[in-house]
Chains A and B, each alone.
Chain A
């Protein structure tokens, strides 16, 4: 499912990036690639996203978050 549907505090694994190579490349260079796991810290609906990837905080525009297909991981909180 797209990252935009993930609630704050959940950890996800990136499955694919449904976009052109510009964005894929840029995300890859910043360490966000398929199989990368990260946590959603802030989902400013309908604003930008804040995530933590390996201890590093990043902001994603909503347009970007829409293109990230993820798998929700942490069920231990539930």
Chain B
């Protein structure tokens, strides 16, 4: 069995994933490239004597160093040296697709071109002479119909043939006498100074990249003499031809392509996507676009949270049952702390993660549907005008909206954003959208402090404060830490199509599995940690208390004695100016695990009777605190450190503790300052 690596390259929307699924039969794993947030998919297939590992590179139009995707794709080819690169050509847009192919040829990788969906393109009036085109480009071409699984055999044969007889010569575009002459001058110098680089990639390519002033290559080739020579060459070329070398090289690539296509690709009719155009006329209409988008988002929201509620209830019931079962079956009196750890810490902690799973599955399904049909690109178009005002792209709106349900799927949903700064900004402000857990806190406090006629307004006000702070924070972030020129917003709007159910479910599952695996382990570890903090050290109940203490009072004593309780007590001087006392402090620490814990913690610290919890808790709160403090609590809950699970997901998605830390501390600091101002100024009036 011989192992070979085959990379799949191609433009976005070229049908690359369909081909990937066809080749690997859906057995694939999704991971992140180290250090970046670009997804990589790998899948294996066995053919004859070969075990083929297929790697799905991110969809790109080119192989420059301008975007993250392009860098990732390029670095993969340089560092991992795939045995074959399969480049998927969109048959309805051959010339543009071949632009990427010419750059792969410049990197001298053994190439197979796949004309996908050429049957449809032919029906629409495009004629191909693939045999002739293959001869001209000196590259094997296979024609496939990915969604019907046609051409699979031929593709495997083509890959096999390349592995068995690697091509001796790979054609490339000629850049014209002037540029070629300078490339020839640079080549030997690079070969001499950087043998380890030229072992990985051709020296002609490196020299060409020097003339293109490619950022990544300039970082590697730092020799002043070579750089000086490249600069002189660029100036001379510019003086001679009136353009920067990179533009001239692009022209030559297109010249090379149109030369090859002239006799081999013929259009008998102009390509039209009438069906798509009709939908677009409505969906991106100046007046209808926004209402349609809002309606669809409402549907997604309903699907994720309304429909997800049922399985969520079942799962909650199941974990409650499991926890109770452990409590009941546990041998009386033996290691009560272990019982509590298993039933509350582990089952409760795992439960917390799994309970969200239906929401997350549904959300990823909805996203897969929006992406697969092609609507996502239109949503970005429709929202762009509004989102641009706060320094974000149109697409950022979707994860932000999901944030009103839960930050975790929302932050994971930011994967649809290509621009890194945009994505980080969105991740940072998502916690300011009041999630369901925060809603439970508001639902406890608002009726406790405000008269009936004010309650609706109060809910609205607190949600609005979150949104406004989100907008403000986004603007601040975009003009400070995440400042910088946007990647110019140019995006393809793919024709609408009906994605297959299998592809959608697969996309949903691969993404959800990442959540279960990564977030699950981190969230579990942290909930156990928090459980320990809230339960240890234990007070010596026998000595400190009289026997008439109720169950709740014991719990209260235990909590106060624990690490969390002590921290809460120690925090008191710091939170006093906010109008908070130690009880609120303790509950706030508990709320780190999940915001709704605030409610149960307050119940514990108030030692209220189990059966009349809600009612009497509100009464107690009303007795002890003013409405001003009540609102200050909500304000703090809204803005302050998001729950641990959110931090964990931010860490995972940004691949850096720095961003997770910034989110945690910046939001907490902002909560502190705003609540302080609110309470202190409010105290003057009330």
Interface contact A22-B66, CB-CB below 8 Å: yes
Known: A50-B493, A58-B491, A61-B490. Contact between A28 and B381, CB under 8 A? no
Q: Max chain A CB contacts within 10 Å: which of B64, B67, B493?
A: B493
User: Which chain B positions have C-beta within 8 A of A59?
Assistant: 377, 380-381, 384, 489-493
* A4 CA / B249 CA spacing, docked (Å): 28
User: Which chain A positions have C-beta within 8 A of B384?
Assistant: 44, 47-48, 59, 61
User: Which chain A positions have C-beta within 8 A of B492?
Assistant: 30, 56-59
Interface contact A26-B62, CB-CB below 8 Å: yes
Interface contact A27-B271, CB-CB below 8 Å: no
Mark out the residues of chain B between 98 and 122 whose CB falls within 8 Å of any chain A CB in the assembled complex: 99-100
Mark out the residues of chain A between 5 and 58 whose CB falls within 8 Å of any chain B CB in the assembled complex: 19, 21-33, 41-42, 44, 46-48, 50, 54-58
* A56 CA / B247 CA spacing, docked (Å): 22
Out of A21, A26, A29, A42, which one reaches B284, CB within 8 Å? A42
* A39 CA / B394 CA spacing, docked (Å): 23
Verify if B93 is at the interface (C-beta below 8 Å from A): yes
User: Which chain B positions have C-beta within 8 A of A32?
Assistant: 490
Mark out the residues of chain B between 250 and 265 whose CB falls within 8 Å of any chain A CB in the assembled complex: 250-251, 254
**A59, chain B: closest CB distance, angstroms:** 5
Q: Max chain A CB contacts within 10 Å: which of B272, B385, B486?
A: B385
Mark out the residues of chain B between 563 and 602 whose CB falls within 8 Å of any chain A CB in the assembled complex: none
* A63 CA / B319 CA spacing, docked (Å): 53
**B284, chain A: closest CB distance, angstroms:** 6
Verify if A1 is at the interface (C-beta below 8 Å from B): no
User: Which chain A positions have C-beta within 8 A of B491?
Assistant: 58-59
**A53, chain B: closest CB distance, angstroms:** 9
* A60 CA / B280 CA spacing, docked (Å): 16
Interface contact A29-B100, CB-CB below 8 Å: yes
Interface contact B64-A29, CB-CB below 8 Å: yes
Verify if B96 is at the interface (C-beta below 8 Å from A): yes
User: Which chain A positions have C-beta within 8 A of B489?
Assistant: 48, 59-61, 63-64
User: Which chain B positions have C-beta within 8 A of A56?
Assistant: 92-93, 96, 492
Interface contact B61-A29, CB-CB below 8 Å: yes
Chain A residue with Cβ nearest B247: A24
User: Which chain B positions have C-beta within 8 A of A28?
Assistant: 62, 99, 247, 250, 254
Interface contact B254-A55, CB-CB below 8 Å: no
User: Which chain B positions have C-beta within 8 A of A57?
Assistant: 273, 276, 280, 492-495
**B342, chain A: closest CB distance, angstroms:** 54
* A56 CA / B270 CA spacing, docked (Å): 11
Chain A residue with Cβ nearest B253: A28
Verify if B609 is at the interface (C-beta below 8 Å from A): no
Chain A residue with Cβ nearest B491: A59
Interface contact B286-A44, CB-CB below 8 Å: yes
Out of B66, B96, B271, which one reaches A26, CB within 8 Å? B66
User: Which chain B positions have C-beta within 8 A of A61?
Assistant: 384, 388, 486, 488-490
**A23, chain B: closest CB distance, angstroms:** 5
Chain B residue with Cβ nearest A58: B492
Per-position binary interface string of chain B over residues 210-252, scored 1 when its CB falls under 8 Å from any chain A CB and 0 otherwise: 0001000000000000000000000000000000101100110
Verify if B614 is at the interface (C-beta below 8 Å from A): no
Interface contact A27-B490, CB-CB below 8 Å: yes
Q: Max chain B CB contacts within 10 Å: which of A19, A21, A27, A58?
A: A21
* A20 CA / B667 CA spacing, docked (Å): 37
Interface contact B99-A21, CB-CB below 8 Å: no
Verify if B83 is at the interface (C-beta below 8 Å from A): no
Known: A26-B61, A57-B495, A58-B493. Contact between A31 and B377, CB under 8 A? no
Verify if B309 is at the interface (C-beta below 8 Å from A): no
Per-position binary interface string of chain B over residues 273-285, scored 1 when its CB falls under 8 Å from any chain A CB and 0 otherwise: 1001000100010
**A63, chain B: closest CB distance, angstroms:** 7
**B212, chain A: closest CB distance, angstroms:** 8
Out of A24, A25, A29, A31, which one reaches B93, CB within 8 Å? A31
Verify if B95 is at the interface (C-beta below 8 Å from A): yes
* A7 CA / B221 CA spacing, docked (Å): 47
Interface contact B490-A26, CB-CB below 8 Å: yes
User: Which chain A positions have C-beta within 8 A of B244?
Assistant: 21
Chain B residue with Cβ nearest A23: B488
Interface contact B270-A55, CB-CB below 8 Å: yes
Interface contact B493-A64, CB-CB below 8 Å: no
Q: 10 closest pairs, A vs B, by CB?
A: A55-B271, A61-B489, A47-B385, A29-B62, A31-B96, A29-B61, A57-B493, A28-B250, A23-B488, A48-B384
Residue ranges of B at the interface with A (Cβ–Cβ < 8 Å): 61-62, 64, 66-67, 92-93, 95-96, 99-100, 213, 244, 246-247, 250-251, 254, 270-273, 276, 280, 284, 286, 377, 380-381, 384-385, 388, 394, 486-495
Task: Add 11 more A-B contacts to A28-B62, A55-B93, A57-B273 (CB < 8 A).
Answer: A22-B66, A24-B246, A25-B246, A28-B99, A29-B64, A30-B61, A41-B280, A47-B385, A48-B394, A56-B92, A64-B489
Can you list 13 contacts pairing A with B, beta carbon distance less than 8 Å? A22-B487, A26-B488, A28-B247, A30-B61, A44-B286, A54-B95, A54-B96, A55-B92, A57-B280, A57-B495, A58-B493, A59-B380, A61-B490
